[in-house]
Amino acid sequence: MTDDTQHTAADEKTGHALIQSYLKTLDSSPGVYRMLDVQARVLYVGKARNLKARVSNYARPSGHSGRIARMIRETASMMFLTTRTETEALLLEQNLIKQLKPRYNVLLRDDKSFPNILVSKDHAFPQIKKHRGAKKEKGAYYGPFASAGAVNRTLNQLQKVFLLRNCSDAMFESRTRPCLLHQIRRCSAPCVGKIAEPDYLESVAEAERYLSGKSTQIQETLARQMQEASEAMEFERAAALRDRIRALTQVQTAQGINPRGVAEADIIALHMDGGQACVQVFFIRGNQNWGNRDFYPRIGADVEEAEVLEAFIGQFYDSKEPPRMLLLSHAIENTDLMEEALSGKLGRKVEILVPQRGEKAELIESAARNARESLARKLAETASQARLLKGLAEAFALDAPPQRIEVYDNSHIQGTNAVGGMIVAGPEGFMKGQYRKFNIRGDDLTPGDDFGMMKEVLTRRFKRLLKEDPDRDKGMWPDLLLIDGGAGQVSAVAEIMREHGVEDIPMVGVAKGIDRDAGKEEFHRVGKRPFALRHNDPVLYFVQRLRDEAHRFAIGTHRAKRSKAVGATPLDDVPGVGAARKRALLAHFGSAKAVSRANLSDLKAVEGVSDALAERIYAFFHEHG
């Protein structure tokens, strides 16, 4: 990359005139451009093989789609970054989109990692287990699988077929007799010598052959062994082998699509309707289907399929290893650049195809059907959600259906480990990425003071909103607050809102009825009589779901905090002592108290503890009493 420049129009021009003024400063280099509004917020990030040519398109006064025309009108400044190659521009563009989330770009919203199966290789009797995250552990990785459920199902059946252990090394070393998994024929119990090392390693090799797509050979071997056992009248062994063959068949049946001619590919199909898009991804590895996942990228009203798919692929593989082949439902604009970018990432050739006939086309059609059906379900859910939000607005006399509802709940046990939870819901349901937890800090709170806890949570929330979005134009402010409580809580919260000058936000307290029965909730608002909804009103069920989700989140956060506190030791506060050294110290001395009393020479004797760290630990405990 050669330079990074920002240009702002000196005479405060905007739109076409502003963009026109940049052309004389640009050349034909490849690069990335950013369009910003008057408040310097990024509206759009784009790449160009030729920056001057691409920007000159925006300088034209007509011929743009509605979305692009709006974007041009809002543009008040631009930034440019030239790159050495077009491929580098493509990679940088997708990286910036993920980082900046510009309003006019197609944006992949759900970008979680996918689980793998790991066959560990750092033990005489390898373990088979689920793995997610960085591949730091020594062993063979097979994946990705679309979900934890897909991995668990496959692992479950593989245990039945190959009888491999899934226990930790520590558990393995401590066994003196076989565990339950051996008794139900899920493990060959290598921990207590029920199988010799060479035989166990052969089972591991068979499992790896299966995960690599060589299952036919394994079935033939098991069938031959079952026949031999039956002829030798070893009926128990024959029955066990029959169960293993059956388990292997079950895995293959559950996978559905098992392409013969496609060994390794991601099948990516797009369907768009009603201003929304669904991308369906099937993972094919070792000629087997390892599950599928649907994604709903954020798109504009008039984007083309090519733009959506290219943006999806660039962002999806930004943090994931691509397969050797991508099969797409629609062509993308820069196939050559994308192939080059993904090949560089993988370290071997990646091919992108849009198949028209044969098995590959059938795979795409299957994925496209899934995308179509998934989007239809999503649109139905969205329509249902829209009706509920409209009903909520009518029930609570709001000006319009709320786009952002914030629901608050607190959790504690006799005031200890107190936390507040905030969940957020809107037109597309629960917005889990917006959830927030609040560790209650108030030193002056008496244990169990729910009013005080709510005051602290909402004071912190409003202070943050006033700081981060003072003009209320970033979509961070709620249209409706729901709190757990009756008249007392409502008046307390109203006072907090008055103090911060935000009393214009509608706020409703949800209180259980006299007999605290779900379905008889009373709703409290400032200066109005409490009221209830009909027992079978869908809006009532919706409010109950919101309140239950807030309660679940607050309880979960509280439990996590409590369990962390239970596992805490004074060692957690010693600078330089992380999880590994903490484990080493506790294993060596037996307890944190023993570490605190140890002399310097004993601390230096602990494996992994340097002389400098030993002195720091010794000083910490002796200076801190």
Residue 123 DSSP class = S
The answer to whether 264-376 and 405-564 have equal CATH topology is yes
pLDDT the model gives residue 10? 39
pLDDT the model gives residue 479? 93
- The reply to whether CATH 3.30.420.340 applies to domain 264-376 is yes
Tokens of 312: 């999806």
Distance CA 363, CA 250 (A): 21
Q: With contact defined as beta carbons under 8 Å apart, do 280 and 268 qualify?
A: yes
Residue range 262-300, pLDDT digits in tens:
889 999 999 998 788 999 999 998 888 888 999 999 998
Q: With contact defined as beta carbons under 8 Å apart, do 489 and 483 qualify?
A: yes
Mean pLDDT by groups of 10 residues along the chain of 625 residues: 49 78 91 93 93 93 88 94 93 91 89 87 91 88 87 84 87 89 89 92 87 72 83 81 72 58 92 91 88 90 90 92 95 93 92 94 93 91 91 93 92 63 91 87 62 85 88 86 89 90 91 63 90 88 90 75 57 76 80 81 84 85 62
pLDDT the model gives residue 77? 94
497 phi and psi angles, rounded to 5 deg? -65, -40
Tokens of 138: 């020594």
- The reply to whether CATH 2.60.40.10 applies to domain 570-623 is no
Q: How many CB atoms lie within 10 A of CB 390?
A: 15
Do β-strands 480-484 and 429-430 pair in parallel, antiparallel, or remain unpaired? unpaired
pTM of the model: 0.72
pLDDT the model gives residue 443? 58
CATH fold group of domain 405-564: Nucleotidyltransferase; domain 5 (3.30.420)
pLDDT the model gives residue 412? 57
- Which H/E stretch holds residue 604? helix 600-604
Distance CA 454, CA 145 (A): 42
Which residue type is seen at 306?
A
pLDDT the model gives residue 153? 84
Domain spans of the chain? 3-100, 116-255, 264-376, 405-564, 570-623
For tokens 């070792």, what's the residue?
286
Q: How many helices (H) and strands (E) does the chain have?
A: 20, 19
Residue among 442, 435, 370 at smallest CA distance from 412 = 442
Tokens of 96: 């910036």
Distance CA 294, CA 291 (A): 11
419 phi and psi angles, rounded to 5 deg? -140, 150
CATH code, residues 3-100 = 3.40.1440.10
Distance CA 19, CA 7 (A): 10
pLDDT the model gives residue 9? 43
pLDDT the model gives residue 216? 63
Beta bridge partners of 34: 45, 79
Distance CA 130, CA 182 (A): 20
Which residue type is seen at 561?
K
Which residue spans within 143-295 are E strands per DSSP?
264-273, 276-285, 288-295
Residue range 485-509, pLDDT digits in tens:
888 889 989 998 998 888 899 999 9
